[in-house]
């Protein structure tokens, strides 16, 4: 039997160079191993070594750090317990680190105390299945729970009193009306705006002249004129109106018209004659009235302001005499130009013209407008002036205004209306 050698226990801490006796796994032979070799082996994870030390991070504690280690979650002081309507604070690890009880919500949008939703007649109160935070209130019937117990019908209506169901309708008129348009209608309207009677009129019968003037209507029949004393008289079938205040300013036999007067018929002079084409009414002192007379020449005057002068050209300018009509032409007999200087002169190229269409009948130089003085000039008749059918006489400029001034022009024109042979 072999003798086994014994060793005393080490009395000092081991160092990495100290040796221990052990058996090698490959051949079961007994060998010496250093403490450092054994330590390196146990610290290498590849060798399946054991945990030598454990430390906690965050709210985790270990005790002890080596050997049989215990791991615990740190406690939070002062939060243990039950809370109602709680206010809580949660840290980054999901732990409640602060908590306190609160009071229930007793006021919402001015409503204090508990709120109870009760479904009335014809209504329901349910929780929204898609969102439990919402409450759905809906009607389940066709009517509410109002307090109206009877509906009465007043004047012009029928159907009442209604206590359950019924129909309200307009009251029938004393006699039926025929729907459709009416001419010059006679209409009766009641207090409710309803037409109770309607019939066709006969064109304003017995309407006097003042009514026609006031309303603008026309009369199908005759118009009766009434007056006082000698206000109305008939001489040779002509109605003569005297002493009528037509416009609140007329006196005696004078008729004053403040606006345009439209004469759709013939006009006679003091002797009862009708005017002929080309004649004009002129005052005749021998008969204390007016008579129609032939006028071989006519006259007109035109004021041309500075703003209009500035826009004149060969085809632009104010109208002096309107178009006389087909197969008739305006022919200038004589014309003059009067210029009133203002404070600045004009810059003008060309002469002033009296023209019909493209034909020039008279000219006048524009030089008076280019000096600091007022002036007057006579137009010069052009050689063989053109007579153009149905053309207005215009005041034009052969050139253009290069710089505007502020003076004005007045022209006086004597002219004839000439009949052209067709």
pTM exceeding the 0.75 threshold for the entire prediction: no
Tokens coding 414: 């004597």
Q: Please report, in angstroms and rounded to a whole number, the separation of the first and last CA atoms in the chain.
A: 173
pLDDT score at 264: 72
Tokens coding 31: 């060998």
Instruction: Write down how long the chain is.
Output: 422
Which residues in the chain are classed under CATH 2.60.120? 298-419
DSSP state of 102: -
If we measure between CA atoms, which residue out of 69, 71, 51 comes closest to residue 60? Answer: 71
Residues 370-377: contacts with CB under 8 Å, at least 24 apart? 370/345, 370/346, 371/341, 371/345, 372/341, 372/345, 373/341, 374/338, 374/339, 374/340, 374/341, 374/407, 375/338, 375/339, 375/341, 376/336, 376/337, 376/338, 376/339, 377/336, 377/337, 377/339
Backbone φ and ψ of 289, nearest 5°: -170, -155
Tokens coding 314: 């060969």
2.40.10, 3.40.50, 1.10.10, 2.60.120: which CATH number matches 298-419? 2.60.120
pLDDT score at 168: 73
Instruction: Please report where in the chains the tokens 């007579």 appear, as a residue.
Output: 387
pLDDT score at 222: 58
CA distance 410 to 368: 13
The tens-digit pLDDT sequence of the chain (422 residues) is 556 666 777 767 777 777 777 787 788 787 777 877 777 776 666 666 666 677 777 677 777 777 677 778 778 777 788 888 888 888 878 787 788 888 776 666 666 666 677 777 767 777 777 876 677 777 765 555 556 778 777 777 776 687 777 777 777 776 667 777 777 677 788 777 777 787 776 555 555 566 666 666 666 555 555 554 555 666 665 555 554 444 444 445 556 566 677 777 778 888 888 887 777 888 777 777 888 877 778 899 999 999 999 999 999 999 999 998 888 899 999 999 999 999 999 999 999 999 998 899 999 999 999 999 999 999 999 988 889 999 999 999 999 999 999 999 999 999 988 888 76
Residue 78: CB partners within 8 Å, gap ≥ 6?
Answer: none
If we measure between CA atoms, which residue out of 275, 253, 325, 304 comes closest to residue 411? Answer: 304
CA distance 138 to 115: 18
The separation between CA 373 and the C-alpha centre of its own chain, rounded to angstroms, equals 54
CA distance 18 to 9: 13
CA distance 42 to 223: 139
DSSP state of 46: G
Query: Is 196 in contact with 170 (CB distance < 8 Å)?
Result: no
DSSP code string of 180-234: S--SS-EEEE-TTS-EEEEE---SSTT-BHHHHHHH----SS--B---STTSEEE
pLDDT score at 65: 73
């Amino acid at each position: 039997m072999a003798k086994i050698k014994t060793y005393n226990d080490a009395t000092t801490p081991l160092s990495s160079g100290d040796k221990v006796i052990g058996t090698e796994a490959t051949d079961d032979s007994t060998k010496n191993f250093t403490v450092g070799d054994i330590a390196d082996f146990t610290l290498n994870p590849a060798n399946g070594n054991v945990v030598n030390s454990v430390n906690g991070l965050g709210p985790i504690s270990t005790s002890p750090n080596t050997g049989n280690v215990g791991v615990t979650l740190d406690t939070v002081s002062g939060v243990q317990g039950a809370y109602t309507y709680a206010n809580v604070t949660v840290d980054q690890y999901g732990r409640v680190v602060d908590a306190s009880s609160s009071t229930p919500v007793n006021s919402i949008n001015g409503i204090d105390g508990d709120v109870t939703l009760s479904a009335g007649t014809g209504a329901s109160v349910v929780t929204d299945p898609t969102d439990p935070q919402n409450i759905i209130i809906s009607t389940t019937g066709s009517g509410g729970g109002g307090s109206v117990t009877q509906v009465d019908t007043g004047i012009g209506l029928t159907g009442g009193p209604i206590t359950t169901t019924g129909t309200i309708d307009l009251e029938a008129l004393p006699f039926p009306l025929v729907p459709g348009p009416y001419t010059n209608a006679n209409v009766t309207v009641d207090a409710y705006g309803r037409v109770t009677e309607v019939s066709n009129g006969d064109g304003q019968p017995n309407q006097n002249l003042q009514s026609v003037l006031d309303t603008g209507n026309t009369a199908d029949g005759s118009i009766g004129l009434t007056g006082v004393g000698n206000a109305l008289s008939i001489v040779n079938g002509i109605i003569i109106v005297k002493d009528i205040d037509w416009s609140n300013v007329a006196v005696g036999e004078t008729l004053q018209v403040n606006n345009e007067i439209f004469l759709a018929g013939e006009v006679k002079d003091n002797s009862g004659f009708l005017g002929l084409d080309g004649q004009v009414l002129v005052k005749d002192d021998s008969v204390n009235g007016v008579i129609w007379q032939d006028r071989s020449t006519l006259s007109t005057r035109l004021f041309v302001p500075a703003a209009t002068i500035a826009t004149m050209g060969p085809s632009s300018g104010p109208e002096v005499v309107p178009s006389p009509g087909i197969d008739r032409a305006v022919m200038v007999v004589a014309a003059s130009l009067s210029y009133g200087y203002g404070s600045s002169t004009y810059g003008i190229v060309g002469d002033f013209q009296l023209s019909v269409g493209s034909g020039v009948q008279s000219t006048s130089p524009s030089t008076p407008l280019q000096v600091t003085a007022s002036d007057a000039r006579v137009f010069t008749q052009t050689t063989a002036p053109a007579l153009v059918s149905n053309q207005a006489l215009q005041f034009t400029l052969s050139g253009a205004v290069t710089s505007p001034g502020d003076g004005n022009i007045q022209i006086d024109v004597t002219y004839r209306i000439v009949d052209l042979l067709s």
